[in-house]
Chain A
Amino acid sequence: MNRKLLLWLLGAGTPVLLLLLWWATSLQSTDTFFPPLKDILQSFQQLWLFAHFQSDVLVSLGNLLLGYAMASAVGVALGFVIALVLVARNVLEPLIHFLRSIPPVALVPIFISLVGFGTEMRVFSIALAALFPTLIATVDGIRSVDSGLKDVARVYRFTTVEKVTQVYLPSAAPQIFSGLQVSLQVAFVVMIASEMLGPSQGIGAMTLLAQQSFMISDMWAGILLLGVIGFAANIVFSLIRRRVLAWYIGSRRLARSS
């Protein structure tokens, strides 16, 4: 128990220690590109709490959530179809493996030419880029559903809806969640990248603008905010996963310990 507490303290304490170190060593800094942390935090407070909160932070997060939600829904649904319908698999699978090999950020220019610099462009870029990890993980997850469970579903004459919602979906859930986690990271990257092109709002746009206009502490403040958001998003995701996959995490832990 004491050991556990110590490890936790180490985990939480190290970032705090590093921040303090940064604070102390940068206090006298006159370097243009590495302003004192004190100034950065001041900019952070001025910029994000709450002058640009609504106009930029909320816009960015809204795009992220919308694009990610679309990617998740389409990815899981399409994954089911590809895994279970033989024709769909043969038609779509090579195409998908080609498309997913393109770096997600490289898709942004296509969308700019197709739908311009607006919000639609950003949401669609995020959605398309985040689609593939979820889609591919879902296909794998559905295909590796145990044949024993499929036999049970057939013997007890489950309806098609029951097979999908009561057997395939929960059985593939661990893999689907792995895909969703990667999709979240990709969506985050594309959110920033999409804002750095064209006249636009958002955290990415603000950060780039600050850099271009030599407001270096503003730029650092933007980077800091991105880090905080990414970190928070991961924690929220982990909490949801731990809740939904409690059975899986529990059974794995038991299997490891025995």
Chain B
Amino acid sequence: MKTIFSTSRTSSAATAAQPGKNAMTEEIAPADTTSAPPRLDVSHLAKTYGMGDKARTVIEDLTFTVDAGEVVCIVGPSGVGKTTLLKCLAGLHPSSSGRAAIDGRTISGPPPEMALVFQDYNRSLMPWLTVRKNLMLPLRHLHLSAAELKERCDDALAAVGLSHAEHQYPWQLSGGMQQRVAIARALAYRPEILIMDEPFASVDAQTRFDLEDLCLKIRRDFNMTILVVTHDIDEAVYLADRVVVLGSKPARVLRIVDVDLPAPRDQITTRSLPEFARQRTDVLSLIKRPA
């Protein structure tokens, strides 16, 4: 029952037509990209809260990898344990068994090369600091020069389009703007790996499109490895090089779907491609199908 698809590199059309059979060929065929070790390696990760009778297994057995410079989306029904997974990856919670590693090093605490954008923007920004000071706070102990500090903050604010709001407080901004501040804070930190937990869940549709494109732009400009948790399948297909589909409950990997939509992606043209529709139907049918 513990199905592992760690290296899925097959055509998406075949996946849609014959998911079962295709999955088998994946397991037989060795990965063709094993030359570089994966940036993020999650193997047999499990998380159980509580002990004895009250034990509640949230994550049963997760295995997937994220290569350097890749955008991977994790989708699954809500309440499946996606946030728990991210907290394990960010070193905030210890895993119960299995392991998660960055460049082969097991994650045991928050890794220095990682930044996390939280789901609740209104619980992740410091209300007593202005936007700019929120950006600067995580940089304090990096002992950067004043010029670099300024440059990083200016760049990050410009990237999310909030240069004009730098002296405002988070609570003076709309939800979408607050989430952009949280993203800017992560950008100013210049992580190599960026993890985002439902980052665009509570913003309006237009802002959402903008933020998705921002995410792709960040990957392009800063060559970041990005892992995004979302419950929006369209968003996952639009953003990702690969989509990890989780099934409930407890969470396990149903399938890892390659998304081979052409780059650069565009909200209008990419979303109207026939492949886009096929990919999203593919992922949707996996989630809808009773496990």
Contacts and interface: CB of A to CB of B under 8 A. Distances in A.
Contacts of A151: 87, 92, 116, 118, 124
A162 B91 CA distance: 19
Contacts of A251: 127, 169, 171
Given A148-B124, A152-B124, A254 B171 contact: yes
Interface string B265-280: 0000000000000000
B153 to A, nearest CB: 14
Contacts of B141: 157-159, 162
Please report whether the interface of chain A is mostly helix, strand, loop or mixed according to DSSP: helix
Nearest to B133: A166
Please report whether the interface of chain B is mostly helix, strand, loop or mixed according to DSSP: loop
B232 interface: no
Given A154-B110, A155-B114, A155-B116, A247 B127 contact: yes
Nearest to B137: A166
User: Size range of the interface on B?
Assistant: 20 to 34
Contacts of A250: 169, 171-172
A158 B120 CA distance: 20
A9 B233 CA distance: 62
Interface string B34-70: 0000000000000000000000000000000000000
Nearest to A170: B128
B115 interface: yes
Nearest to B138: A156
B5 interface: no
B140 interface: yes
B16 interface: no
A73 interface: no
Interface string A113-150: 00000000000000000000000000000000011110
A105 interface: no
B21 interface: no
Contact of A155 (B92, B123, B129): B92
Contacts of B200: none
Interface in B144-194: 169, 171-172, 189
B90 interface: yes
A148 to B, nearest CB: 3
Nearest to B189: A156
B126 interface: yes
Interface in A51-71: none
A155 to B, nearest CB: 5
B118 A152 contact: yes
A248 to B, nearest CB: 7
Contact of B123 (A148, A248, A254): A148
A137 to B, nearest CB: 18
Contacts of A170: 126, 128
A146 B128 CA distance: 13
Contacts of A147: 123
Interface string B243-285: 0000000000000000000000000000000000000000000
B123 A149 contact: yes
B112 interface: yes
A110 B91 CA distance: 52
A170 to B, nearest CB: 5
13 contacts: A148-B120, A149-B126, A152-B124, A154-B91, A155-B90, A156-B110, A156-B138, A157-B110, A159-B141, A162-B141, A166-B137, A247-B129, A250-B172
Which 6 pairs, one residue from A and one from B, show the smallest C-beta to C-beta distance? A148-B123, A156-B138, A251-B171, A247-B128, A170-B128, A155-B116
